[in-house]
A and B are shown apart, each in its own frame.
Chain A
Amino acid sequence: MSDWGIFLATYLAATVEWVEAFTIVLAVSMSIGWGRATGAALTALLLLAVMTLATGGALSLGMDMQWLQLVIGVFLLLFGVRWLAKAVARQAGLKALHDEDEEFAETRQALEKGDRHAAWLIAFKGVLLEGLEVWLIVVALGMKSHHTVLASGAAILALAVVAGAGLAVREPLRRVPENAIKFVVGAMIVAFGTFWTLEALAGDAAWPMGDWSLLALVAFYLVGGLGLAALLKPRQVGEMTS
């Protein structure tokens, strides 16, 4: 489970972030051309690659494994809880679904106020901020299990798929089922975070079923999240009066 779990969680999480980054780069490319917009995106990606290499090396050298596991677990909880809550809220209809067309329009509007330099910076910052989440997930999921290469590969594969699809259609990738992906990734990341924080504090005593507990946690958060979404769905006026 662990290898596939890490690959799948990283791939899905990275797909969501790269889709959002692509929308920004696409909007910027209409102002300053594909060459400059891609240059900004590649600069941000290069910075993220250097950060992944640097943090991967530093974390594996300098810290006690138990503390490292706790820190990683906390970051996974910070991400996972947020993603799962957002996915539940959107599934329940409490929050609007993420709209790539709206994101595209907002970026285009921001570009109207600035010059070419500002446009380049918008593309750079957009890719960097979306990529930071990918970087954290790659480092967090890869480090604990010594699978940084596997997690990095999943993130790069997601980038290639999103970039390929985006360049083929040359419009925002609105058909990606972002909320469904966020639901699954949120449940997986919260499960990893729960498992690792408690294992760091209590050792094997916390999880008598070992790695199988991880599968049980993923299933619990998925089913629990779907149940919550159904519970939180606002009732229709007609249903309430009848």
Chain B
Amino acid sequence: MKALFKTLFGDWINLGFVILLVALEFALVRAGYPSQAGLAVPLVILGGVSVLARR
């Protein structure tokens, strides 16, 4: 079960980061900034990758 969770989701931090990311996308789109979301989200992802890489 643990191996299956790891295969599908990585770990809790990885899963939490992606959930936050989609929540951010949803908030930006709802607030009327869809094209700005296309610029902001990749930067946030790269920031997240930087944090995850250092763990």
Residues of A within 8 A of B (CB): 70, 74-75, 77-78, 81-82, 84-86, 88-89, 92, 94, 125, 129, 132-133, 136, 190, 194, 197-198, 201-203, 205-208, 213, 217, 220-221, 224-225, 228, 231-232
Contacts and interface: CB of A to CB of B under 8 A. Distances in A.
B29 to A, nearest CB: 4
A94 B54 contact: yes
Contacts of B25: 197-198, 201-202
Interface of B: 3-4, 7-10, 14-15, 17-18, 21-22, 25-26, 29, 34-35, 37-38, 41-42, 45-46, 48-50, 52-54
Contact of B38 (A78, A88, A207): A207
A205 B53 contact: no
Nearest to B26: A201
A86 B53 contact: yes
Contacts of B35: 205-206, 208
Contact of A129 (B3, B17, B22, B46): B3
B7 A129 contact: yes
A84 B42 CA distance: 13
B26 to A, nearest CB: 6
The 8 closest A-B pairs by CB, nearest first: A85-B52, A202-B34, A89-B53, A205-B34, A88-B53, A82-B10, A202-B29, A85-B53
A207 B15 CA distance: 25
A228 B46 contact: yes
10 contacts: A74-B22, A81-B49, A85-B53, A133-B7, A197-B21, A203-B34, A205-B35, A206-B38, A225-B49, A228-B50
B21 A136 contact: no
Contacts of B41: 194, 198
